[in-house]
Each structure stands twice: as C-alpha cells, then as structure tokens.
Amino acid sequence: MNKHFITQKIKQKAFELGFSFVGISKAEFLEKEARNLEKWLNNNHHGKMAYMENYFDKRTDPRLLVDDAKSVITVLCNYYTKKKQEDRKAPKISKYAFGKDYHLVIREKLNQLHTFIIEEVGEVNARGFVDSAPVMDKAWAERSGLGWIGKNANLINKESGSYFFIGELIIDLELETDGPIEDYCGTCTRCIDACPTDAIIQPYVVDGSKCISYLTIELKDEILPKEFSGKMQNWMFGCDVCQQVCPWNKFSLQHNEPSFEPNLKLLKLTKKQWNELSKETFNELFKKSAVKRTKFDGLKRNIKFLNI
C-alpha cells in the first residue's frame, strides 16, 4: 500500500478516536536524549525513582522494545478543563487526575488504532505505550513535530499549550515522518520564577527530587522532607503551577473526552472534608483514577503535611 496513503489514513483514524494531535517519527536511537538522560541520572535528579535507572538502552532505542521497529506514532490527548475545586482553601489535585485514569483511556484508543492498521495493511508488529514503560514520551512527541520541550520540561504545543497526555504506538511499518518544530519559549522564564520549590534548576532541567509532583506521588517516605514545609502551595496530588503560568496555555481548549470529566463530588469537597477523608470515600472517589497511585495512606500523608 502507498506509504503516503496509509500514513494519512492512520492519522485520520487517530483523530476519529479522539486524539488531539498525531505525529510520526523514525524509530531510531535517541542520541541527544541519551546524553541528557545520563547526565540527569548522574546528578540524582530522579530522587528515589530508581526505576528511571532501569532499561536505559530500551528507553533510548525503541527498536529494542519492538522487533524491527520502523516508526513511532505519537499521539496527544487533551485533558484541559476550566472546572476547579470549589473550596479555594481545600488541598489541590492536578487537573490531569480529575477524571478516569488516563492510562486506561489512552491504552484502549491505541489498541483500537493498532487494530485499524491491521485491518488496513495486514499483520504488523506494534506495541502501545502510555507513560508506563521505558519510553521517552516527550522526546518522541518533539521529534514528531507535536511541540517543543519547554523550560519546564513539559511538551508545549503551539496551538493548544501543554495540558496533554502523550502516547505512542511503536510499529514495524515504515510511514511518512514529520519533522520537529522550533522552540518558542524565547526569553520567558515564568515557569522557572513561579516554581514553588525551585525544582526548575535551569532552563530545560528539572530536579525531579524537588518537584511537587514527585513529592506527592513518587516519594513513598512516611513523611515529606521538612525543607518543603510551607512551599507546597496546597498541592496534595501533583502540581500545575508551571503550566498555569505558561503563556502558551492561554490557547488551551476544553477537552471533549467524557472519561476525563471530573467527579463532581471531588470538586465539591471542602478543606474540612479532605482533612477528614475516610478510606471508604477515597475508594469511592478514585476507583479508576490516577490518584490511586499514591494510595489512601499516601494522600493522607500529603494532606497532613500541608497542615504542618
């Protein structure tokens, strides 16, 4: 089948499945990213995320994840919403965790895309990934022209900002590729200036061990480090500060994915109710939510730390 024709059909199907943007790059070794990752790890910017040290070779070369891989299809899925928690004094949850766990939603869409490709061209070897395997999501999105990696280390799309989930389908099918775009951060330093814990230690470099998302989700210690007391800006799960201040997010549009709609009960909980959160209410609110990652005890730990 004509390479241009099947590439366009795949992109069209991706949009039909609800993805906001789709780009394609050649499956190859990420040379520049490998150097940067090695330096980042050597500087211990991954904190206690020991898994980041694993599978370095697979993380930087998709051909080790899918035999004879030729293309990386990268998709973006918008999760932006203007809806907010009603009590401004209540502990805060990052927007991305308002609805159903994005891993479940995007993986299902990637499976459907894979099935479509098989129906169109015959059997192909492919694997879908969504932030759950050694894949450098933002690097592939950048190479596919879906945006640039900004000074806050987030992927920024020129049309719609940075409130996106990223997924990939690594496939042994040669497709037309898209090229990268320019970096449009310019001289702006709003994300660096606004970071409550000074986690953006220099443009484009985030010390993960200082990031509120790391502290509230990845770090499993019984109590958070005292040095961050009073700096959390009331975030109990994740943090949106560097996105909230980014000028490019003035172009963010309301998502149209029903699965990402927030639980209204979650938005209505008061500070008092969060402080008194029971395991039963936690399980009810976050049954299929990314918040389950921190578990009940982890969320209670975070809420308690905010009150110190």
pLDDT band at 132 (very low <50, low <70, confident <90, very high): confident
In-domain check, residue 306: no
* Farthest CA pair distance, the chain: 63
How far is Cα 159 from Cα 119, in angstroms, rounded to an integer?
Answer: 32
How far is Cα 207 from Cα 214, in angstroms, rounded to an integer?
Answer: 10
In-domain check, residue 308: no
Residue indicated by tokens 């990934």: 129
In-domain check, residue 127: yes
How far is Cα 29 from Cα 57, in angstroms, rounded to an integer?
Answer: 9
257, 109 in Cβ contact below 8 A? no
The predicted-structure confidence for 192-215, as pLDDT tens digits, reads as follows 999 999 999 999 999 999 999 999
How far is Cα 241 from Cα 159, in angstroms, rounded to an integer?
Answer: 20
* Length of the chain, in residues: 308
Tell me the residue range of the domain where 226 lies: 1-301
pLDDT band at 60 (very low <50, low <70, confident <90, very high): very high
In-domain check, residue 307: no
Those residues whose C-beta lies under 8 Å from the C-beta of residue 304, and which sit 6 or more positions away, are none
Which SS3 state, helix, strand or coil, does residue 221 take? coil
pLDDT band at 256 (very low <50, low <70, confident <90, very high): very high
CA of 92: how far to CAs of 73, 182, 199, 282, in Å?
Answer: 34, 34, 19, 15
Catalytic annotation, residues: 131
In-domain check, residue 129: yes
How far is Cα 97 from Cα 117, in angstroms, rounded to an integer?
Answer: 30
The dihedral through the CA atoms of 19, 20, 25, 31 has a sign that is negative
Domain count, the chain: 1
Residue 169: what residue type?
Answer: L
Those residues whose C-beta lies under 8 Å from the C-beta of residue 147, and which sit 6 or more positions away, are 76, 141, 155, 156, 157, 158, 162, 181
In-domain check, residue 56: yes
Q: Specify the pLDDT at position 160.
A: 97
Those residues whose C-beta lies under 8 Å from the C-beta of residue 132, and which sit 6 or more positions away, are 103
Which residue from 251, 71, 106, 58 is spatially nearest to 178, judged by alpha carbons? 71
Mean pLDDT of 24-47: 97
In-domain check, residue 275: yes
Q: State both tokens at 252.
A: 């963010």
Q: Are strands 92-93 and 235-237 parallel, antiparallel or unpaired?
A: parallel
The whole-model pTM stands at 0.96
Q: State both tokens at 166.
A: 């990223």
How far is Cα 201 from Cα 53, in angstroms, rounded to an integer?
Answer: 21
The predicted-structure confidence for 112-122, as pLDDT tens digits, reads as follows 999 999 999 99
Secondary structure (H, E, C), 158-177: CCCECCEEEEEEEECCCCCC
Q: Specify the pLDDT at position 133.
A: 86
208, 47 in Cβ contact below 8 A? yes
pLDDT band at 308 (very low <50, low <70, confident <90, very high): confident
Mean pLDDT of 51-60: 96
In-domain check, residue 70: yes
